Structure 1
Amino acid sequence: MGSILVTGATGNVGKYVVNYLNGRDSDVVVAGHRIQELEKSYPGMKAVRLDFEDPSTFEEALHGVDRVFLMRPPQIGDAEVFRPFVEAMKAQSVRLVSFLSLMGVERNPFPPHHKIEKMIEEASIPYAHIRPGFFMQNLTGVHAEEIRKDREIFIPAGNSKVSFIDAEDIGKAIAHVLLNPDAHQHVAYTLTGPEALDYVDIANQLTLLTGEKITYAKPSMLHYRSRYINERGLSPEYVNVTMALYLMTRLGTAKAITHTFKELTGDEPRTFFEFTKAHLHEFERKDDGDSTNDPFDLKEANV
Protein backbone atom coordinates (compact mmCIF):
# COMPACT_ATOMS: atom_id res chain seq x y z
CA MET A 1 0.00 0.00 0.00
CA GLY A 2 0.94 3.63 -0.35
CA SER A 3 1.58 6.21 2.35
CA ILE A 4 -0.87 7.64 4.86
CA LEU A 5 -1.14 11.43 4.95
CA VAL A 6 -1.96 12.84 8.37
CA THR A 7 -3.14 16.45 8.26
CA GLY A 8 -2.96 18.56 11.42
CA ALA A 9 -0.26 16.17 12.60
CA THR A 10 0.70 18.20 15.68
CA GLY A 11 -2.91 18.80 16.75
CA ASN A 12 -4.97 17.25 19.53
CA VAL A 13 -6.08 14.28 17.43
CA GLY A 14 -3.50 14.25 14.64
CA LYS A 15 -0.57 13.62 16.97
CA TYR A 16 -2.25 10.49 18.32
CA VAL A 17 -3.11 9.26 14.82
CA VAL A 18 0.60 9.51 13.97
CA ASN A 19 1.67 7.83 17.21
CA TYR A 20 -0.64 4.85 16.72
CA LEU A 21 0.28 4.47 13.06
CA ASN A 22 4.02 4.79 13.60
CA GLY A 23 5.76 1.44 13.68
CA ARG A 24 2.77 -0.53 12.43
CA ASP A 25 4.06 -1.29 8.96
CA SER A 26 2.73 2.02 7.67
CA ASP A 27 4.52 4.80 5.84
CA VAL A 28 3.28 8.05 7.38
CA VAL A 29 3.52 11.55 5.91
CA VAL A 30 2.86 14.35 8.41
CA ALA A 31 1.37 17.58 7.11
CA GLY A 32 0.60 21.04 8.42
CA HIS A 33 1.33 24.75 8.12
CA ARG A 34 4.48 24.80 10.20
CA ILE A 35 7.07 22.59 8.57
CA GLN A 36 9.74 23.24 11.22
CA GLU A 37 7.38 22.21 14.00
CA LEU A 38 6.55 19.02 12.10
CA GLU A 39 10.23 18.16 11.57
CA LYS A 40 10.98 18.80 15.23
CA SER A 41 8.03 16.69 16.41
CA TYR A 42 8.65 13.82 13.98
CA PRO A 43 12.38 13.52 13.21
CA GLY A 44 13.08 11.12 10.37
CA MET A 45 9.48 11.17 9.15
CA LYS A 46 8.47 12.79 5.86
CA ALA A 47 6.98 16.20 6.62
CA VAL A 48 5.18 18.35 4.06
CA ARG A 49 3.63 21.80 4.13
CA LEU A 50 -0.08 21.66 3.43
CA ASP A 51 -2.28 24.74 3.17
CA PHE A 52 -5.88 24.05 2.17
CA GLU A 53 -6.09 27.59 0.80
CA ASP A 54 -3.03 27.06 -1.41
CA PRO A 55 -3.54 24.31 -4.04
CA SER A 56 0.12 24.52 -5.01
CA THR A 57 0.90 22.56 -1.80
CA PHE A 58 -1.37 19.62 -2.71
CA GLU A 59 0.84 17.74 -5.19
CA GLU A 60 3.77 17.21 -2.84
CA ALA A 61 1.48 16.41 0.10
CA LEU A 62 -0.41 13.72 -1.83
CA HIS A 63 2.55 12.21 -3.68
CA GLY A 64 2.53 8.43 -3.11
CA VAL A 65 -0.42 8.70 -0.71
CA ASP A 66 -3.40 6.34 -0.80
CA ARG A 67 -5.02 7.08 2.59
CA VAL A 68 -5.70 10.43 4.27
CA PHE A 69 -6.65 11.59 7.72
CA LEU A 70 -8.37 14.91 7.06
CA MET A 71 -9.15 17.50 9.71
CA ARG A 72 -10.53 21.00 9.36
CA PRO A 73 -8.32 23.71 10.91
CA PRO A 74 -10.66 25.62 13.26
CA GLN A 75 -9.79 28.96 11.68
CA ILE A 76 -11.33 27.84 8.36
CA GLY A 77 -15.10 28.14 8.60
CA ASP A 78 -15.92 28.04 4.88
CA ALA A 79 -16.38 24.46 3.71
CA GLU A 80 -15.82 25.46 0.08
CA VAL A 81 -12.15 26.03 0.88
CA PHE A 82 -11.76 22.24 0.96
CA ARG A 83 -13.26 21.52 -2.45
CA PRO A 84 -9.96 21.78 -4.40
CA PHE A 85 -8.28 19.41 -1.94
CA VAL A 86 -11.15 16.93 -2.20
CA GLU A 87 -10.82 17.06 -5.99
CA ALA A 88 -7.06 16.50 -5.65
CA MET A 89 -7.68 13.40 -3.50
CA LYS A 90 -10.09 12.08 -6.12
CA ALA A 91 -7.53 12.62 -8.88
CA GLN A 92 -5.00 10.74 -6.73
CA SER A 93 -7.43 7.76 -6.46
CA VAL A 94 -7.17 7.80 -2.68
CA ARG A 95 -8.36 4.47 -1.25
CA LEU A 96 -9.77 5.97 1.94
CA VAL A 97 -10.17 9.40 3.53
CA SER A 98 -11.01 9.47 7.22
CA PHE A 99 -12.50 12.89 7.95
CA LEU A 100 -12.67 14.25 11.50
CA SER A 101 -16.26 15.40 11.71
CA LEU A 102 -18.73 15.95 14.57
CA MET A 103 -21.23 13.88 16.49
CA GLY A 104 -24.73 14.47 15.16
CA VAL A 105 -23.55 16.47 12.16
CA GLU A 106 -25.64 14.35 9.80
CA ARG A 107 -28.68 16.11 11.31
CA ASN A 108 -27.08 19.55 11.63
CA PRO A 109 -26.30 21.36 8.35
CA PHE A 110 -24.86 24.47 10.02
CA PRO A 111 -21.27 23.42 10.94
CA PRO A 112 -18.86 23.26 7.97
CA HIS A 113 -18.22 19.58 8.76
CA HIS A 114 -21.65 18.69 7.32
CA LYS A 115 -20.82 20.19 3.93
CA ILE A 116 -17.33 18.67 3.89
CA GLU A 117 -18.77 15.20 4.52
CA LYS A 118 -21.17 15.66 1.60
CA MET A 119 -18.37 17.01 -0.59
CA ILE A 120 -16.30 13.87 0.00
CA GLU A 121 -19.26 11.58 -0.63
CA GLU A 122 -20.25 13.36 -3.84
CA ALA A 123 -16.67 13.00 -5.10
CA SER A 124 -17.09 9.18 -4.79
CA ILE A 125 -13.98 8.86 -2.64
CA PRO A 126 -14.14 5.91 -0.21
CA TYR A 127 -14.63 7.47 3.21
CA ALA A 128 -14.86 6.74 6.91
CA HIS A 129 -16.27 9.80 8.64
CA ILE A 130 -15.29 9.98 12.29
CA ARG A 131 -17.95 11.78 14.33
CA PRO A 132 -16.68 12.18 17.89
CA GLY A 133 -18.42 13.70 20.86
CA PHE A 134 -16.85 16.78 22.39
CA PHE A 135 -13.14 16.44 23.12
CA MET A 136 -12.09 16.23 26.76
CA GLN A 137 -9.22 18.42 25.56
CA ASN A 138 -11.66 21.30 25.04
CA LEU A 139 -11.48 21.74 28.82
CA THR A 140 -7.66 21.72 28.89
CA GLY A 141 -7.44 23.80 25.71
CA VAL A 142 -9.68 26.63 24.57
CA HIS A 143 -11.76 26.70 27.77
CA ALA A 144 -8.92 26.24 30.27
CA GLU A 145 -8.21 29.97 30.64
CA GLU A 146 -11.36 30.66 32.68
CA ILE A 147 -10.83 27.52 34.75
CA ARG A 148 -7.27 28.54 35.62
CA LYS A 149 -7.91 32.24 36.20
CA ASP A 150 -11.49 32.44 37.46
CA ARG A 151 -12.10 28.89 38.65
CA GLU A 152 -15.18 28.64 36.48
CA ILE A 153 -16.28 26.81 33.33
CA PHE A 154 -17.44 29.48 30.88
CA ILE A 155 -19.39 27.53 28.26
CA PRO A 156 -22.89 28.41 26.97
CA ALA A 157 -24.22 24.85 27.05
CA GLY A 158 -27.10 25.38 29.47
CA ASN A 159 -28.09 22.20 31.31
CA SER A 160 -27.09 19.89 28.45
CA LYS A 161 -25.19 16.63 28.87
CA VAL A 162 -22.15 15.68 26.81
CA SER A 163 -20.54 12.26 26.21
CA PHE A 164 -16.96 13.58 26.21
CA ILE A 165 -14.20 11.52 24.59
CA ASP A 166 -10.43 11.74 24.93
CA ALA A 167 -8.69 12.89 21.75
CA GLU A 168 -6.19 10.07 22.23
CA ASP A 169 -9.00 7.54 21.94
CA ILE A 170 -10.19 9.26 18.75
CA GLY A 171 -6.68 9.07 17.27
CA LYS A 172 -6.41 5.41 18.18
CA ALA A 173 -9.72 4.58 16.47
CA ILE A 174 -8.74 6.52 13.34
CA ALA A 175 -5.44 4.65 13.14
CA HIS A 176 -7.32 1.32 13.25
CA VAL A 177 -9.52 2.50 10.38
CA LEU A 178 -6.63 3.73 8.22
CA LEU A 179 -4.68 0.52 8.73
CA ASN A 180 -7.62 -1.51 7.38
CA PRO A 181 -9.01 0.66 4.56
CA ASP A 182 -10.92 -2.09 2.78
CA ALA A 183 -12.94 -2.85 5.92
CA HIS A 184 -14.07 0.72 6.52
CA GLN A 185 -15.43 2.22 3.32
CA HIS A 186 -18.48 4.44 2.94
CA VAL A 187 -19.19 4.40 6.67
CA ALA A 188 -19.58 6.92 9.49
CA TYR A 189 -18.54 6.16 13.07
CA THR A 190 -19.83 8.08 16.07
CA LEU A 191 -17.30 7.91 18.91
CA THR A 192 -18.11 8.84 22.50
CA GLY A 193 -16.81 8.31 25.98
CA PRO A 194 -18.49 5.89 28.40
CA GLU A 195 -20.73 8.45 30.16
CA ALA A 196 -22.78 11.60 29.56
CA LEU A 197 -21.98 14.48 31.93
CA ASP A 198 -23.37 17.97 32.31
CA TYR A 199 -21.06 20.87 33.11
CA VAL A 200 -22.03 20.83 36.78
CA ASP A 201 -20.76 17.22 36.87
CA ILE A 202 -17.56 18.39 35.18
CA ALA A 203 -17.12 21.24 37.66
CA ASN A 204 -17.65 18.85 40.58
CA GLN A 205 -15.05 16.39 39.28
CA LEU A 206 -12.56 19.22 38.74
CA THR A 207 -13.26 20.49 42.27
CA LEU A 208 -12.65 17.04 43.73
CA LEU A 209 -9.40 16.47 41.87
CA THR A 210 -7.89 19.97 42.08
CA GLY A 211 -8.92 20.62 45.67
CA GLU A 212 -10.26 24.05 44.66
CA LYS A 213 -13.89 25.05 44.18
CA ILE A 214 -14.70 25.23 40.47
CA THR A 215 -18.16 26.26 39.28
CA TYR A 216 -20.13 26.24 36.06
CA ALA A 217 -20.83 29.85 35.03
CA LYS A 218 -23.58 28.87 32.56
CA PRO A 219 -23.23 32.06 30.48
CA SER A 220 -25.71 33.20 27.88
CA MET A 221 -24.78 32.90 24.21
CA LEU A 222 -24.35 36.67 23.90
CA HIS A 223 -22.17 36.92 27.04
CA TYR A 224 -20.00 34.06 25.75
CA ARG A 225 -19.68 35.63 22.29
CA SER A 226 -18.76 39.02 23.71
CA ARG A 227 -16.05 37.63 26.00
CA TYR A 228 -14.49 35.28 23.46
CA ILE A 229 -14.33 37.92 20.73
CA ASN A 230 -13.74 41.13 22.67
CA GLU A 231 -11.70 39.83 25.61
CA ARG A 232 -10.17 36.56 24.42
CA GLY A 233 -9.52 37.93 20.93
CA LEU A 234 -10.78 34.90 19.01
CA SER A 235 -12.16 35.37 15.51
CA PRO A 236 -15.91 36.00 15.14
CA GLU A 237 -16.06 33.21 12.53
CA TYR A 238 -14.63 30.66 14.95
CA VAL A 239 -16.81 31.82 17.84
CA ASN A 240 -19.94 31.70 15.69
CA VAL A 241 -19.24 28.07 14.78
CA THR A 242 -18.84 27.20 18.46
CA MET A 243 -22.12 28.95 19.27
CA ALA A 244 -23.93 26.88 16.65
CA LEU A 245 -22.52 23.71 18.19
CA TYR A 246 -23.46 24.70 21.73
CA LEU A 247 -26.95 25.61 20.56
CA MET A 248 -27.33 22.10 19.16
CA THR A 249 -25.88 20.69 22.38
CA ARG A 250 -28.64 22.44 24.31
CA LEU A 251 -31.09 20.50 22.15
CA GLY A 252 -29.63 17.20 23.38
CA THR A 253 -27.49 16.26 20.37
CA ALA A 254 -24.30 15.53 22.37
CA LYS A 255 -25.52 13.20 25.11
CA ALA A 256 -25.80 9.86 23.29
CA ILE A 257 -23.35 7.10 24.20
CA THR A 258 -22.04 4.62 21.64
CA HIS A 259 -19.85 1.53 21.94
CA THR A 260 -18.15 2.12 18.59
CA PHE A 261 -14.73 2.87 20.06
CA LYS A 262 -14.57 -0.56 21.73
CA GLU A 263 -15.89 -2.24 18.58
CA LEU A 264 -13.11 -0.65 16.51
CA THR A 265 -10.22 -1.04 18.96
CA GLY A 266 -11.20 -3.70 21.50
CA ASP A 267 -10.51 -1.24 24.34
CA GLU A 268 -12.69 0.75 26.72
CA PRO A 269 -12.75 4.54 26.25
CA ARG A 270 -11.22 6.74 28.93
CA THR A 271 -13.49 8.36 31.52
CA PHE A 272 -13.38 12.10 32.19
CA PHE A 273 -12.20 11.41 35.74
CA GLU A 274 -9.26 9.39 34.43
CA PHE A 275 -8.45 12.09 31.90
CA THR A 276 -8.55 14.86 34.51
CA LYS A 277 -6.26 12.95 36.90
CA ALA A 278 -3.70 12.67 34.10
CA HIS A 279 -3.98 16.38 33.17
CA LEU A 280 -4.27 18.15 36.51
CA HIS A 281 -1.34 20.41 35.63
CA GLU A 282 -3.45 21.92 32.84
CA PHE A 283 -5.79 23.43 35.43
CA GLU A 284 -3.14 25.05 37.66
CA ARG A 285 -3.41 28.78 38.14
CA LYS A 286 -1.20 30.80 35.79
CA ASP A 287 -0.16 34.41 35.56
CA ASP A 288 -2.13 36.60 33.15
CA GLY A 289 0.85 36.70 30.81
CA ASP A 290 0.76 32.92 30.40
CA SER A 291 -2.54 32.77 28.52
CA THR A 292 -2.82 32.71 24.75
CA ASN A 293 -5.29 34.26 22.36
CA ASP A 294 -3.78 32.70 19.25
CA PRO A 295 -6.62 30.86 17.46
CA PHE A 296 -4.10 28.66 15.67
CA ASP A 297 -3.20 27.17 19.05
CA LEU A 298 -6.74 25.75 19.19
CA LYS A 299 -5.50 23.05 16.85
CA GLU A 300 -8.49 20.85 16.00
CA ALA A 301 -10.66 21.62 18.99
CA ASN A 302 -14.14 20.41 18.12
CA VAL A 303 -15.92 23.46 19.51
Structure 2
Amino acid sequence: MGEWEHRFCRINGLDVHYVEQGSGPLVVLLHGFPHLWYSWRHQIGPLAEAGFRVVAPDMRGMGRTSGPRDCRGYDVPAVTGDLLGLLDHLGGRRAIFSGLDFGMFAAYDLAHRHPERVAALIGLQNPFINQPEKPPLALAAEAGRKHFYHIHYFIEPGVADRDLDAAPRTFLQKVFFALSGDADYLSSWQHPPGTTYIDALPEAPPLPWKWLSAAELELYVENYSASGFTGGLNWYRVSDIRWEQRKAYQGKKITVPYFFIGSEKDVDLAVWHGKKPLEQLHQRYQDVRDVRILDGAGHMMQMERPDAVTEVMVEFLESLRAGR
Protein backbone atom coordinates (compact mmCIF):
# COMPACT_ATOMS: atom_id res chain seq x y z
CA MET A 1 0.00 0.00 0.00
CA GLY A 2 2.95 2.33 0.56
CA GLU A 3 3.36 5.38 2.78
CA TRP A 4 1.27 8.51 2.90
CA GLU A 5 2.05 11.26 0.42
CA HIS A 6 2.14 14.99 1.12
CA ARG A 7 0.29 17.08 -1.44
CA PHE A 8 -0.29 20.80 -1.98
CA CYS A 9 -2.96 22.53 -4.01
CA ARG A 10 -4.95 25.77 -4.32
CA ILE A 11 -8.50 25.47 -2.96
CA ASN A 12 -11.06 28.19 -2.17
CA GLY A 13 -8.39 30.88 -2.21
CA LEU A 14 -6.08 28.94 0.14
CA ASP A 15 -2.78 27.15 -0.23
CA VAL A 16 -3.82 23.76 1.14
CA HIS A 17 -1.66 20.95 2.46
CA TYR A 18 -3.02 17.45 2.87
CA VAL A 19 -1.78 13.90 3.28
CA GLU A 20 -3.18 11.05 1.21
CA GLN A 21 -2.84 7.28 1.24
CA GLY A 22 -4.73 4.35 -0.23
CA SER A 23 -7.47 3.78 -2.76
CA GLY A 24 -11.16 2.98 -2.53
CA PRO A 25 -14.05 4.89 -0.95
CA LEU A 26 -12.91 8.35 0.13
CA VAL A 27 -12.49 9.04 3.85
CA VAL A 28 -11.59 12.58 4.97
CA LEU A 29 -10.17 13.12 8.47
CA LEU A 30 -10.52 16.62 9.95
CA HIS A 31 -8.55 17.90 12.94
CA GLY A 32 -9.27 20.61 15.49
CA PHE A 33 -7.15 23.10 17.44
CA PRO A 34 -4.27 22.99 18.24
CA HIS A 35 -3.84 20.01 15.98
CA LEU A 36 -2.67 19.13 12.48
CA TRP A 37 -3.24 16.37 9.94
CA TYR A 38 -0.60 14.58 12.03
CA SER A 39 -3.10 13.93 14.81
CA TRP A 40 -4.46 11.17 12.50
CA ARG A 41 -1.03 9.56 11.94
CA HIS A 42 -2.06 6.33 13.68
CA GLN A 43 -5.26 5.96 11.63
CA ILE A 44 -4.21 6.92 8.09
CA GLY A 45 -2.20 3.81 7.23
CA PRO A 46 -4.54 1.21 8.76
CA LEU A 47 -7.61 2.77 7.14
CA ALA A 48 -5.80 2.74 3.81
CA GLU A 49 -4.79 -0.88 4.35
CA ALA A 50 -8.46 -1.67 4.99
CA GLY A 51 -9.28 -0.51 1.45
CA PHE A 52 -10.05 3.20 1.72
CA ARG A 53 -8.61 6.34 0.15
CA VAL A 54 -7.70 8.41 3.20
CA VAL A 55 -7.11 12.16 3.10
CA ALA A 56 -6.15 14.27 6.12
CA PRO A 57 -5.81 18.02 5.43
CA ASP A 58 -4.37 20.77 7.54
CA MET A 59 -7.45 22.88 8.24
CA ARG A 60 -7.79 26.55 7.33
CA GLY A 61 -5.17 28.68 9.06
CA MET A 62 -3.35 25.78 10.71
CA GLY A 63 -0.26 23.79 9.82
CA ARG A 64 0.80 24.32 6.23
CA THR A 65 -2.64 25.46 5.05
CA SER A 66 -2.93 29.22 4.76
CA GLY A 67 -5.72 31.29 6.26
CA PRO A 68 -6.81 34.91 6.50
CA ARG A 69 -5.84 37.09 9.45
CA ASP A 70 -9.43 38.35 9.76
CA CYS A 71 -11.58 35.94 11.77
CA ARG A 72 -14.56 36.59 9.48
CA GLY A 73 -12.75 34.45 6.94
CA TYR A 74 -13.45 31.39 9.11
CA ASP A 75 -17.23 31.42 8.99
CA VAL A 76 -19.45 28.51 7.95
CA PRO A 77 -19.56 29.24 4.18
CA ALA A 78 -15.77 29.64 4.07
CA VAL A 79 -15.00 26.39 5.88
CA THR A 80 -17.63 24.32 4.09
CA GLY A 81 -16.31 25.85 0.88
CA ASP A 82 -12.90 24.43 1.78
CA LEU A 83 -14.37 20.95 2.11
CA LEU A 84 -16.38 21.22 -1.11
CA GLY A 85 -13.28 22.45 -2.92
CA LEU A 86 -11.23 19.60 -1.49
CA LEU A 87 -13.79 17.06 -2.71
CA ASP A 88 -13.77 18.62 -6.16
CA HIS A 89 -9.97 18.65 -6.24
CA LEU A 90 -9.86 14.98 -5.25
CA GLY A 91 -12.43 14.10 -7.91
CA GLY A 92 -14.83 12.77 -5.31
CA ARG A 93 -18.58 13.18 -5.57
CA ARG A 94 -18.85 12.58 -1.86
CA ALA A 95 -16.84 11.25 1.08
CA ILE A 96 -17.12 9.77 4.54
CA PHE A 97 -16.04 12.46 6.99
CA SER A 98 -14.62 11.99 10.45
CA GLY A 99 -13.23 14.61 12.78
CA LEU A 100 -12.59 16.05 16.20
CA ASP A 101 -13.85 19.37 17.65
CA PHE A 102 -13.61 22.13 14.99
CA GLY A 103 -12.96 19.54 12.29
CA MET A 104 -16.08 17.60 13.22
CA PHE A 105 -18.17 20.75 13.45
CA ALA A 106 -17.08 21.59 9.89
CA ALA A 107 -18.26 18.15 8.78
CA TYR A 108 -21.61 18.65 10.57
CA ASP A 109 -22.04 22.00 8.78
CA LEU A 110 -21.29 20.32 5.45
CA ALA A 111 -23.82 17.55 6.16
CA HIS A 112 -26.50 20.16 6.90
CA ARG A 113 -25.73 22.34 3.91
CA HIS A 114 -24.64 19.78 1.30
CA PRO A 115 -25.77 16.29 2.38
CA GLU A 116 -25.33 15.03 -1.18
CA ARG A 117 -21.55 15.37 -0.71
CA VAL A 118 -21.43 13.40 2.56
CA ALA A 119 -21.62 9.60 2.46
CA ALA A 120 -21.53 9.26 6.26
CA LEU A 121 -20.18 10.86 9.42
CA ILE A 122 -18.00 9.35 12.14
CA GLY A 123 -17.97 11.80 15.03
CA LEU A 124 -15.19 11.72 17.62
CA GLN A 125 -15.82 13.23 21.07
CA ASN A 126 -18.06 16.08 19.86
CA PRO A 127 -21.49 14.59 19.13
CA PHE A 128 -23.22 17.64 17.65
CA ILE A 129 -23.07 21.41 17.16
CA ASN A 130 -24.18 23.38 20.20
CA GLN A 131 -26.63 26.22 19.57
CA PRO A 132 -27.05 28.00 22.92
CA GLU A 133 -29.75 30.61 23.45
CA LYS A 134 -27.16 33.38 23.80
CA PRO A 135 -24.26 34.08 21.43
CA PRO A 136 -21.36 31.81 22.47
CA LEU A 137 -18.84 34.60 22.95
CA ALA A 138 -21.23 36.38 25.30
CA LEU A 139 -21.48 33.18 27.34
CA ALA A 140 -17.69 32.90 27.29
CA ALA A 141 -17.40 36.45 28.58
CA GLU A 142 -19.78 35.63 31.44
CA ALA A 143 -17.64 32.64 32.43
CA GLY A 144 -14.45 34.64 31.94
CA ARG A 145 -15.53 37.22 34.47
CA LYS A 146 -15.72 34.50 37.14
CA HIS A 147 -12.56 32.51 36.42
CA PHE A 148 -10.06 31.78 33.69
CA TYR A 149 -11.90 30.50 30.64
CA HIS A 150 -9.93 29.74 27.52
CA ILE A 151 -12.53 30.88 24.98
CA HIS A 152 -12.84 34.29 26.63
CA TYR A 153 -9.04 34.56 26.76
CA PHE A 154 -8.92 33.86 23.01
CA ILE A 155 -11.48 36.53 22.00
CA GLU A 156 -9.40 39.71 21.82
CA PRO A 157 -7.12 39.60 18.76
CA GLY A 158 -3.44 39.78 19.58
CA VAL A 159 -3.56 38.75 23.23
CA ALA A 160 -3.51 34.95 23.14
CA ASP A 161 -1.67 35.10 19.81
CA ARG A 162 1.24 36.90 21.45
CA ASP A 163 1.39 34.62 24.48
CA LEU A 164 1.16 31.34 22.56
CA ASP A 165 3.45 32.41 19.72
CA ALA A 166 6.12 33.23 22.30
CA ALA A 167 6.12 29.73 23.81
CA PRO A 168 4.69 27.18 21.35
CA ARG A 169 6.47 24.16 22.83
CA THR A 170 5.40 24.93 26.39
CA PHE A 171 1.82 25.61 25.36
CA LEU A 172 1.44 22.54 23.17
CA GLN A 173 2.97 20.18 25.71
CA LYS A 174 0.80 21.57 28.52
CA VAL A 175 -2.47 21.65 26.57
CA PHE A 176 -2.00 18.17 25.11
CA PHE A 177 -1.39 16.77 28.57
CA ALA A 178 -4.28 18.76 30.10
CA LEU A 179 -6.72 17.40 27.53
CA SER A 180 -5.60 13.80 27.98
CA GLY A 181 -7.12 11.24 30.27
CA ASP A 182 -4.13 11.62 32.59
CA ALA A 183 -5.00 15.17 33.68
CA ASP A 184 -7.86 17.36 34.88
CA TYR A 185 -8.41 20.05 32.26
CA LEU A 186 -11.03 21.80 34.40
CA SER A 187 -8.37 22.62 36.99
CA SER A 188 -7.62 25.59 34.70
CA TRP A 189 -10.93 27.10 35.87
CA GLN A 190 -9.51 27.46 39.38
CA HIS A 191 -7.37 30.37 38.17
CA PRO A 192 -8.70 33.94 38.26
CA PRO A 193 -9.61 36.11 35.25
CA GLY A 194 -6.55 37.61 33.63
CA THR A 195 -4.45 34.46 33.92
CA THR A 196 -2.73 33.42 30.71
CA TYR A 197 -3.61 30.05 29.22
CA ILE A 198 -0.10 28.72 29.72
CA ASP A 199 -0.18 29.65 33.41
CA ALA A 200 -3.69 28.22 33.88
CA LEU A 201 -2.86 24.82 32.43
CA PRO A 202 -1.54 22.08 34.76
CA GLU A 203 2.15 21.29 34.61
CA ALA A 204 2.96 18.53 32.13
CA PRO A 205 5.37 15.71 32.93
CA PRO A 206 8.50 15.43 30.80
CA LEU A 207 8.30 13.54 27.54
CA PRO A 208 8.08 10.82 26.41
CA TRP A 209 4.60 9.87 27.56
CA LYS A 210 3.06 6.52 26.78
CA TRP A 211 1.19 8.11 23.85
CA LEU A 212 3.44 11.01 22.75
CA SER A 213 7.17 11.23 22.13
CA ALA A 214 9.37 14.32 22.08
CA ALA A 215 9.83 13.90 18.32
CA GLU A 216 6.08 13.75 17.74
CA LEU A 217 5.51 16.90 19.77
CA GLU A 218 8.28 18.60 17.83
CA LEU A 219 6.37 18.31 14.57
CA TYR A 220 3.51 20.32 16.11
CA VAL A 221 5.98 22.84 17.52
CA GLU A 222 7.68 23.31 14.14
CA ASN A 223 4.38 23.83 12.34
CA TYR A 224 2.88 26.27 14.83
CA SER A 225 6.19 28.11 15.19
CA ALA A 226 6.04 28.69 11.44
CA SER A 227 2.34 29.56 11.14
CA GLY A 228 1.63 31.16 14.50
CA PHE A 229 -1.58 30.46 16.39
CA THR A 230 -3.80 33.21 14.95
CA GLY A 231 -5.43 30.96 12.36
CA GLY A 232 -6.49 28.44 15.00
CA LEU A 233 -7.68 31.16 17.38
CA ASN A 234 -9.80 32.68 14.62
CA TRP A 235 -11.96 29.54 14.66
CA TYR A 236 -13.03 30.65 18.15
CA ARG A 237 -13.31 34.36 17.35
CA VAL A 238 -15.88 33.75 14.62
CA SER A 239 -18.17 31.75 16.94
CA ASP A 240 -20.95 34.36 17.08
CA ILE A 241 -21.04 34.71 13.30
CA ARG A 242 -21.26 30.93 12.87
CA TRP A 243 -23.95 30.81 15.58
CA GLU A 244 -26.09 33.16 13.49
CA GLN A 245 -25.41 31.25 10.29
CA ARG A 246 -26.34 27.93 11.87
CA LYS A 247 -29.80 29.15 12.86
CA ALA A 248 -30.86 28.24 9.32
CA TYR A 249 -30.79 24.54 10.20
CA GLN A 250 -31.43 24.63 13.92
CA GLY A 251 -33.83 21.84 14.84
CA LYS A 252 -33.26 19.99 11.55
CA LYS A 253 -31.80 16.50 11.62
CA ILE A 254 -28.72 15.48 9.68
CA THR A 255 -29.88 12.80 7.27
CA VAL A 256 -26.69 10.88 6.40
CA PRO A 257 -25.59 7.74 8.31
CA TYR A 258 -24.03 8.69 11.64
CA PHE A 259 -21.56 6.92 13.91
CA PHE A 260 -20.02 8.19 17.13
CA ILE A 261 -16.90 7.33 19.12
CA GLY A 262 -16.31 8.94 22.50
CA SER A 263 -14.08 8.34 25.48
CA GLU A 264 -14.91 8.13 29.16
CA LYS A 265 -12.53 10.93 30.22
CA ASP A 266 -13.20 13.49 27.48
CA VAL A 267 -13.80 16.96 28.91
CA ASP A 268 -15.68 18.13 25.80
CA LEU A 269 -18.19 15.31 26.05
CA ALA A 270 -18.54 15.86 29.79
CA VAL A 271 -18.95 19.64 29.82
CA TRP A 272 -19.68 21.36 26.51
CA HIS A 273 -22.64 19.43 25.12
CA GLY A 274 -25.11 19.63 27.97
CA LYS A 275 -26.38 16.86 30.20
CA LYS A 276 -26.49 13.35 28.76
CA PRO A 277 -25.57 14.42 25.22
CA LEU A 278 -25.61 10.89 23.81
CA GLU A 279 -29.30 10.65 24.65
CA GLN A 280 -29.86 13.53 22.22
CA LEU A 281 -28.38 11.83 19.16
CA HIS A 282 -31.69 10.58 17.76
CA GLN A 283 -33.06 14.12 18.04
CA ARG A 284 -30.23 15.40 15.87
CA TYR A 285 -29.58 12.58 13.40
CA GLN A 286 -32.04 10.69 11.25
CA ASP A 287 -29.86 7.60 10.88
CA VAL A 288 -27.76 6.80 13.99
CA ARG A 289 -25.89 3.59 13.20
CA ASP A 290 -23.65 2.93 16.21
CA VAL A 291 -22.17 4.57 19.31
CA ARG A 292 -19.03 3.45 21.17
CA ILE A 293 -17.37 4.78 24.30
CA LEU A 294 -13.75 3.83 24.87
CA ASP A 295 -12.16 3.68 28.29
CA GLY A 296 -8.72 4.90 29.24
CA ALA A 297 -8.59 8.05 27.11
CA GLY A 298 -9.36 11.75 27.21
CA HIS A 299 -9.88 14.23 24.39
CA MET A 300 -6.72 13.11 22.57
CA MET A 301 -8.19 9.68 21.92
CA GLN A 302 -6.73 9.07 18.43
CA MET A 303 -3.28 9.31 20.01
CA GLU A 304 -4.04 7.99 23.50
CA ARG A 305 -5.79 4.83 22.30
CA PRO A 306 -4.89 4.69 18.61
CA ASP A 307 -5.44 0.98 18.03
CA ALA A 308 -8.87 0.99 19.66
CA VAL A 309 -10.00 4.09 17.74
CA THR A 310 -8.73 2.66 14.46
CA GLU A 311 -10.39 -0.70 15.08
CA VAL A 312 -13.78 0.90 15.66
CA MET A 313 -13.42 3.21 12.67
CA VAL A 314 -12.56 0.28 10.40
CA GLU A 315 -15.57 -1.62 11.74
CA PHE A 316 -17.85 1.33 11.00
CA LEU A 317 -16.38 1.83 7.53
CA GLU A 318 -16.70 -1.82 6.62
CA SER A 319 -20.34 -1.84 7.75
CA LEU A 320 -20.99 1.04 5.35
CA ARG A 321 -19.21 -0.74 2.51
CA ALA A 322 -21.23 -3.87 3.20
CA GLY A 323 -24.47 -1.87 3.20
CA ARG A 324 -25.32 -2.75 6.79
Asked if these proteins are the same fold (TM beyond 0.5), I'd say no
TM-score of the two chains, using structure 1 as the length reference = 0.34
User: TM-score when scaled to structure 2?
Assistant: 0.32
Which structure shows the bigger proportion of residues in strand conformation? Answer: 2
